[in-house]
Structure 1
Amino acid sequence: MKLSSQIKPISYLKSHTAEVVKSITETREPLVITQNGEAKLVVMDVKSFEEQEETMALLKLLAMGNKEIEEGKYRDVEDVFAELDAADER
């Protein structure tokens, strides 16, 4: 796991919660929390989390599209537009 953000022990989070919230909200830098010297969780602001979730959703859609292409489940764009034109003329 690549940890380019701040790293603090869980005791720091417990004793500096308000500061941590303010810092993360302002900088949008995630904070890695360690327990017994091992990374255990990441604290991030809500906006960054939501952006990450949107990115993951788009990546899933792309992966699904690639899988469908590999399985031959696609149509040529010319055929799709021809069908749309025909439907529009009706």
Structure 2
Amino acid sequence: MSEDVLSLSQFKAEATRLLDQARDQSATLVLTQNGRARAVVQDYAQYQARERAMLILKLMAEGERDVSAGETAPQADVFAALRTRLQTQPDVQDG
């Protein structure tokens, strides 16, 4: 993944090409305004992948905290509770 820094004016002038570049090269564009970083532009698929990775890391950290605090349960109990919960939820109909 590469990171390019350019002014907001440059981005406006070449937005379509730069968005294609961000998609094709997995590049992140840092946009500046008055010489300071103002925004980041990246391909939406790349953004989604990063968000999923961050969620996984968050869940891992929460799990580690639970284990450290002794807040654990046997796997069979967890899955049984989830099955019960899913079976008691009403079916959602597409409307």
Normalising by the smaller structure, the TM-score range is: 0.7 to 0.9
Whole-angstrom CA distance in 1 between matches of 2:33 and 2:45: 26
Aligned residues: 77
| TM-score where L is the length of structure 2 | 0.73
Provide the secondary structure at the position in 1 that maps to 2:71.
Answer: coil
Alignment partner, residue 9 of structure 1: 7
- Opposite residue 25 of structure 1, the aligned amino acid is R
- Opposite residue 50 of structure 1, the aligned amino acid is Q
Alignment partner, residue 39 of structure 1: 37
Q: Could you say which structure has the larger radius of gyration?
A: 1
Matches within 5 A, 1:40-59: 40-59=38-57
Provide the secondary structure at the position in 2 that maps to 1:69.
Answer: helix
Name the Cα RMSD after superposition. Answer: 1.9
Identity of aligned residues (%): 29
Alignment partner, residue 62 of structure 2: 64
1:36-58 deviations in Å (ceiling 9; x for gaps): 11111110001110100100110
Provide the secondary structure at the position in 1 that maps to 2:65.
Answer: helix
Whole-angstrom CA distance in 2 between matches of 1:32 and 1:57: 23
Runs of 4+ in 1 over 6 A off after TM superposition: none
Matches within 5 A, 1:18-37: 18-37=16-35
| Alpha-carbon distance, 1:25 to partner | 1.2
| TM-score where L is the length of structure 1 | 0.76
| Alpha-carbon distance, 1:9 to partner | 0.3
